[in-house]
Amino acid sequence: MSFRASGNVGPVCYSPWRGVFVARKANPCVQPWSTLQKVYTDNMGLVTAAWSGSCTVMERLEWDAYAQNQKWKNRLGNRWIPLGYQVFLKMNCQALALGGTIQTSPPTTVPFTLPSLWEVLALPAAGRVTIELSGYPAGQAPDVIQVFRAGPFLRVGWHARTPDYRSQGLQASPYVMTQNGLATGKYYWFRARWGFTIGVVGNWFEGQVLVN
């Protein structure tokens, strides 16, 4: 038995607390998944099943070779080379989230684009905002943009954190999403990124707006 183990064993929960490991009564509460969490979880199940069920041995080797040219960054800023399975999982989960399908072979080319307009605008109509991420070079327009929202907040000085954001869906060309029914006199944060349905996404663009 390890004193550093954590988790529930019957009615007892073992966990670290303030630098020591303690045993306390297990919490029987269950946090149900939201509809979107269930969708993402189901997508991951489909992708993991496809790795062993749909991909051939040769295709898995292709993903391993493709991953050798990738460099990911962890939360500490350190760069590392992922496994082929990790790249397959990430790209195909993103592909399903963007409305695409599972790709059993890695892409031969990776599309990239750069918008020239990022704007979050409060409209004169009460509770209405538009979010736009557009102005792409000719022939390099993405399939969709992903839009996330955080708020409402009472103060202008509050900057939304990553856990505050909730998905608002996808928006195809002309890449302008309209939000209605927002709380007037409150501050909201929005962020968006472009995406190609093979599972390639860009960096986040973020902005704050005071709703009229």
Task: Look at the chain and report how many structural domains it folds into.
Answer: 2
Task: Say whether both 75 and 138 belong to one domain.
Answer: no
Predicted TM-score (pTM) of this structure = 0.79
Tell me which residues of the chain have a pLDDT lower than 70.
1-5, 29-31
The predicted pLDDT at position 2 comes to: 56
Inside any domain, residue 188: yes
**Closest CA relative to residue 151, chosen from 132, 126, 127:** 127
Q: Evaluate the CA torsion angle 122, 123, 128, 129 in order and state its sign.
A: negative
- The answer to whether residue 68 is domain-embedded is yes
121 and 62 in a single domain? The answer is no
**Secondary structure of residue 142 in the 3-state scheme:** coil
Question: Same domain for 71 and 142?
Answer: no
pLDDT at res. 118: 97
| 3-state SS assignment for residue 162 | helix
In this prediction, residue 198 carries a pLDDT of 94
pLDDT of res. 16: 75
Domain coverage including residue 129: 117-210
Question: In terms of C-beta distances under 8 Å and separation of at least 24 residues, what long-range contacts does 17-22 make, across chains too?
Answer: none
| Rounded CA separation 164/149 (Å) | 8
- 154 domain-assigned: yes
| 134 and 55 belong to one structural domain | no
Cα dihedral 135, 211, 97, 163 in deg (nearest 10): 120
DSSP letters of 35-81?
Answer: HHHHHHHHHHHHHHHHHHHTS-HHHHHHHHHHHTT--EE-TTS-EEP
Residue 152 near residue 114, CB atoms below 8 Å: no
Q: List the CATH number of the domain containing 134.
A: 2.60.40.10
- The pLDDT tens digits for 29-71 are 666 777 777 887 888 899 999 999 999 999 999 999 999 998 8
- Residue 107 maps to a domain: no
Q: Are residues 137 and 193 in the same domain?
A: yes
Q: Which of 69, 97, 125 marks a domain boundary?
A: 97
